[in-house]
Amino acid sequence: MLAGKRILLVEDEPVIAFAVEDMLADMGCEVVGPAFRLDDAQDLARAERIDAAILDVNLNDQRSYAVAEELERRSIPFLFATGYAEGGVEWPGSAALLPKPYRADQIRAALEQLFGADAG
Amino acid sequence: MPVFLDGGGECGALIKARDWSGSLGPVASWSQSLKAATGLLLRSPVPMVMLWGEDGIMIYNDAYSLFAGGRHPQLLGSKVREGWPEVADFNDHVMKVGLAGGTLSYKDQELTLYRSGAPEQVWMDLDYSPVIGDDGRPAGVLAVVIETTDRIRAVRALRDRERHLEALFQQTSAGIAEADLQGRIITANDRYCEIVGRAREDLLSITIADLTHPDDLPENQVLLGKLLANGESFRIEKRYVRPEGEAVWVSNDVNLVRHEDGQPANIVAVCVETGDRRRAEEALRESEARFRNMADHAPVMLWVTDADGRCTYLNRSWYEFTGQTKEQAEGFGWLDATHPDDRAEAERVFLEANRRGEPFRIEYRLRRHDGKYRWSIDAAAPRFAPTGEFLGYIGSVIDIDERREMEDALRDSEERFRNMADNTPVMLWVTDETGYCTYLNRRWYEYTGQAPGEGAGLGWLKAVHPDDRQNAERVFLTANDEHRPYQVDFRLRHSDGGYRWCADTAEPRFDGSGRFLGYVGSVVDIDERREAAEKVRLSEEMLRSVIEQMPVGVAVARVPSGEIFEYNQALEDMLGHPILSEDASTYNRYGGIDEEGNSLPPEAYPLGRAVMFGETVVGDEMRYRRADGRIIHLLGHASPVIGPTGKPDIAVVTLQDITDRKRAEQHQRLLIDELSHRAKNLLAIIQSVAQQSFKNGSSPAAMVASFEGRLGALAAAHGILTRQRWESAPLRQVICDTITAVKADDHRLQLDGPDLMVAPKTGVSIAMAVHELTTNAVKYGSFSNDEGTVSVTWRIEDGRLKLEWHERGGPPVQPPSKRGFGSRMIERGLAAELGGKVKIDFDPEGVVCRVDAPFAEAD
């Protein structure tokens, strides 16, 4: 189900980004990015072919909402990844949350639900 | 003998006898002109002197010799400048002018002469003319000298007198006017102008009649006619009318001024203002009228007699009582109204007293108009003139039968009052119109322990506490003067020895005609009432001081109005504005605000809830906008307080500024959030590191070693950051600690670069990257043999960090077949972190890693 899906990964911590990149690769996904910075992430979100996105909410004290807006405009589903307690995401629309630290099974389940919901 | 000297009087004889050899030469040898002039001069009755020759040798006649005074006869024949040294300059001028042929003439010339030794002021008419000599030229000067001193003196004296008279005329306190025979005013002094109220120039066009009051004019004109006809001077009391219509009473003395021949010339009026005198006379008349009026209205019978004992006045009461007429009663007719049995004695006593001028008192029966006889007292006092002369009596007659009846009735009524008053439980008192206490009831004496009668007069004050006595007396006497009700509190001595607070309340008494009679008052013991009030006051004071000293803001409001009537300074300081003393409905004017900054309604305030709903509010938090705009957090407690009625009558609120505490709490929450974030982030990193370390099929031991090494690098970096409070990391230490954690013998390591501080996250990324480079160097590179070295150098160039990792002396380097976690971490991870470029060259000589990134030093 996830094979060949192009997933935009936005994560400011390189070590973590590489780990998630490997996890997604293991799931058969193609990683767009990872983008470590907000402006890089916005460029990718605007221009790249993307099926879904994993957005770390907190990017070096900035928020990734601008990227989410762009994705929403393109009707691309996304997940907010956050280490904060619930309520730390101040996003007005509905958005699926992915808790940090990342776990491969959680990523897989969240993405499958994203595509499932999208399909259904 | 020279004939010209004969008949020349004394001076002629003197000239003749004089030896002229030193001056003019022998008389016989005098020039014809000198002789002729001398002859003329000597025979003149007018004082004349001739000044002959350049020296002005003086030759004068007998008339002049009188003028010369003590200087004659020495003066004859002397040189004029020497003979009259005091006027030498004057005569020098005369000589010069005269000998030059000129004449001089002086009128009333003033000179100071020393004719008798003393200085003397003289005036003279002087005429000088030249005397022509035999040669036809002026040889001397002839002077006619007429002394005018007496005339000048007389004129001066006259002028002085005139001036004095004028001053007298003007300054006299009487007004003086002079008029012609037709009454037209010729002159008037200032005082006259003042009396008639007109300017002098205005008077000159009118007559005295114009100034006189029309009512006084006929008399004035008659008297004036007599004056002009017979020369009878007169005095008239009359009125002048001032221009504004005011009449002024004057006493006017009018006389004629006659010409020398006795014919009338002018009329002089001397007037004195008598307004005051007139008024006094009128006042006297009025006072007599008043006396009669008063006497006629007096409720007693009054009478007046003259020195002879004849009755000249009886008042209306007498006539009303006796039914006599004026004609029947005056003189001695009043005796007809006395009882026949009493008449003789009455007459005897009266006449006897009258003879001596002493006061007397008789009792007799007086016949009333209805024929009944009533016992009366007739009492009289003598009247005396200011001179001491006996003038008669003024007396009064009282019907004592009536008084007796009245007294009986009064005694009955008083008895009743006393009886009642003595049996009331309050203290009662009565004073007369002078303030004298005439009655205190039994209760007073029981209460105060004063002896009966001791409180009479002002004796009651002795029972008043000494500290209150003065005030009690002052209040009473002041009210007594003004006849108004009063109340005064004082401590009154109690029979048990102590003093107790009492309230003394009094009402003025008046008789039927409104006459003030004194007071009736009551005294009530209010000691317990006062004590209770004092206790309440003390407890209120204590409460107030407690409230004031409380470290929190306190306000107390009435229930149900919500009006705040008590609060402390701490509250005002906290809210930053004065407390409004208004009802609960306007609490919204205070600064309470909700999260959006909107004003809170009254019922949202803790005090509002306590006042309006009787709620007890515990620990309510409220945002509050102070008057200065600062927003503070308040913690409020409020509750209603049950009053004596069993219902809440007040409500109390305490407010505490917890802004600092709130801020601390917020800060703490932020810290916890941050800590949690970091911990989770760190776990995510560790997880990722583990995932990377355990994936590529090395031996389990090697994988564990690799994982441990990476964890060690992370831990070292965190250690440095924690020491730096996660604010920044020193670059040199991060690099050094990371390398030495893997490879301890640091002499093969060279670090060279400035001291730079980097951001915490950057520090971690650099540590991770350096760790990967170091482990690679230990496994394959310059740290894998004994000779190889690693140098790390960095510098800042154009705002960019240029860092270089350089391995030397190791075994030949072969590029790795596939790039693992390390190179990915370095080339992508660090590059992304720094926002620059990071490149690893696997140079056979040794690995070189170059970093080129924008740099801003961390704080």
| E-only strand ranges, B85-153 | 104-113, 120-132, 138-147
Summarised one tens digit per residue, pLDDT across range B617-644 is 888 889 999 888 888 999 999 988 887 7
**pLDDT tens by residue, B842-853:** 888 889 999 998
**pLDDT score, position B512:** 75
Average pLDDT over residues B318-331: 90
Q: For the domain B424-525, what is the CATH code? A: 3.30.450.20
Domain ranges of chain B: 3-154, 172-273, 280-404, 424-525, 532-657, 698-854
The rounded percent of chain B whose pLDDT value lies above 70 is: 97
Give the best residue of A10, A12, A13 to mutate against chain B (max B CB count within 10 A).
A13
Higher pLDDT, B768 or B698: B768
Shortest CA distance from A37: residue in chain B: B832
CA distance B694 to chain A (A): 11
Name the closest residue on chain A to residue B690, using Cα atoms.
A19
Please list every residue in chain A whose beta carbon sits closer than 8 Å to the beta carbon of residue B832.
14, 36-37
User: Interface pTM (ipTM) of the complex?
Assistant: 0.77
Which secondary-structure segment (H or E) carries B417? helix B400-422
In chain A, residues with a C-beta closer than 8 Å to the C-beta of B681 are 13, 16, 83, 100
- Please name the residue of chain A whose CA is at the shortest distance from the CA of residue B714: A15
The CATH number given to B698-854 is 3.30.565.10
Phi-psi region of B149 (alpha: psi -120 to 50; beta: other; left: phi over 0): alpha
pLDDT tens for B140-183 read 999 988 888 888 888 888 888 888 777 777 777 788 888 888 88
Kindly state whether A88 is in contact with chain B, defined as any CB-CB distance less than 8 angstroms: yes
The overall average pLDDT reported for chain A is 83
Angle at B242 between CA B237 and CA B247, to 5 degrees: 45
pLDDT: which is higher, B840 or B538: B840
Burial of B357 (0-12, 13-18, 19+ CB in 10 A): middle
- Right CATH for A6-106 from 3.40.50.720, 3.40.50.2020, 3.40.50.2300, 1.10.10.10: 3.40.50.2300
Q: If you average pLDDT over residues B826-840, what whole number do you get?
A: 86
Assess A81–B contact: CB distance below 8 Å, yes or no. no
User: Does residue A19 belong to the interface with chain B, where contact is any CB pair within 8 Å?
Assistant: yes
Report the distance separating Cα B637 and Cα B65, nearest Å.
Answer: 134
Q: Ramachandran region of residue A64, left (φ > 0), alpha (ψ -120 to 50) or beta?
A: alpha
Judge contact between B724 and B733, C-beta under 8 A. Answer: no
> The domain B280-404 belongs to what CATH superfamily?
PAS domain (3.30.450.20)
The answer to whether B222 and B234 have CB atoms below 8 angstroms apart is no
Which two structure tokens, joined as six digits, stand for B426? 């309050």
Q: B683: which chain A residues are within 8 Å (Cβ-Cβ)? A: 101
Instruction: Say how many residues make up chain B.
Output: 859
pLDDT, mean of residues B373-393? 84
Q: Does B829 touch chain A (CB under 8 A)?
A: yes
Residue A14 near chain B (CB below 8 Å): yes
CB contact under 8 A, A100 and B684: yes
**Measured between CB atoms, does B761 come within 8 Å of chain A?**
yes
The CATH number of B3-154, from 2.40.50.100, 3.30.450.20, 3.40.50.11260, 3.40.50.80, is: 3.30.450.20
Q: What is the pLDDT of residue B517?
A: 87
Write the pLDDT tens digit of every residue in B104-137.
999 888 888 888 778 888 888 899 999 888 888 9
Residue B486: which pLDDT band, with cuts at 50, 70 and 90?
very high
Window A:28-67, CB contacts with B under 8 Å: 36-37, 58, 60
Asked if A23 lies within 8 A of B691 by C-beta distance, the reply is: yes
Q: What pLDDT was estimated at residue B488?
A: 92
Whether B275 shows a pLDDT value over 80: the answer reads no
What is the rounded CA–CA span in Å between residue B111 and residue B716? 139
Residue B815 has pLDDT above 90, yes or no: no
How confident is the model at residue A120, as a pLDDT?
A: 40
* Contact status of B670 with chain A (Cβ, < 8 Å): no
- State residue B464's pLDDT score: 93
Nearest CA in chain A to B673: A84
B280-404 and B698-854: identical CATH topology: no
- Residue pLDDT, tens place only, B41-53: 888 888 889 999 9
A83 pLDDT more than 80: no
Contact B676 A16 (CB under 8 A): no
- CA dist B241 and B248 (Å) reads 6
* Inter-residue contact B374 to B365 (CB < 8 Å): yes
CB contact under 8 A, A84 and B825: no
Quick one: average pLDDT of B380-386?
82
Alpha helices in B256-389 (DSSP H): 275-297, 316-322, 326-329, 340-356
Q: What is the mean pLDDT of chain B?
A: 85
With a cut of 60, say whether residue B589 has pLDDT above it: yes
Q: Give the C-alpha distances (Å, rounded to integers) separating B169 from B189, B190, B200, B201, B557.
A: 6, 9, 14, 17, 88
The verdict on whether omega for the bond into residue B640 sits within 30 degrees of 0, i.e. cis, is no
Under a CB-based contact definition with an 8 Å cutoff, are residues B788 and B748 in contact? yes
Using the Cβ of A89 and the Cβ atoms of chain B, whether some distance falls under 8 Å is answered with no
Cβ–Cβ contact B763 with A under 8 A: no
Per-residue pLDDT, B169: 76
Which residues neighbour B748 within 8 Å (Cβ) at sequence distance 6 or greater? Answer: B782, B783, B788, B789, B790
DSSP letter (8 states) at residue B824: I
The angle at the Cα of B169, spanning B164 to B175, to the nearest 5 degrees, equals 165
pLDDT of B344: 92
Does domain B532-657 correspond to CATH entry 3.40.50.2020? no
pLDDT at A86 over 70: no
For residue B676, list chain A residues with Cβ-Cβ distance below 8 A: 83-85
Q: How confident is the model at residue A84 (pLDDT cuts 50, 70, 90)?
A: low
B408 — pLDDT class (breaks 50, 70, 90): confident
Instruction: State the best of A10, A11, A12, A15 to mutate against chain B, taking most chain B CBs within 10 Å.
Output: A15
Q: What does the pLDDT read at residue A119?
A: 45
Probe site for chain A from B670, B672, B688 (most A CB atoms < 10 A): B688
Q: Which CATH class is domain B172-273?
A: alpha beta
Rounded to the nearest angstrom, the gap between the alpha carbon of residue B208 and the centroid of all alpha carbons in its chain is 54
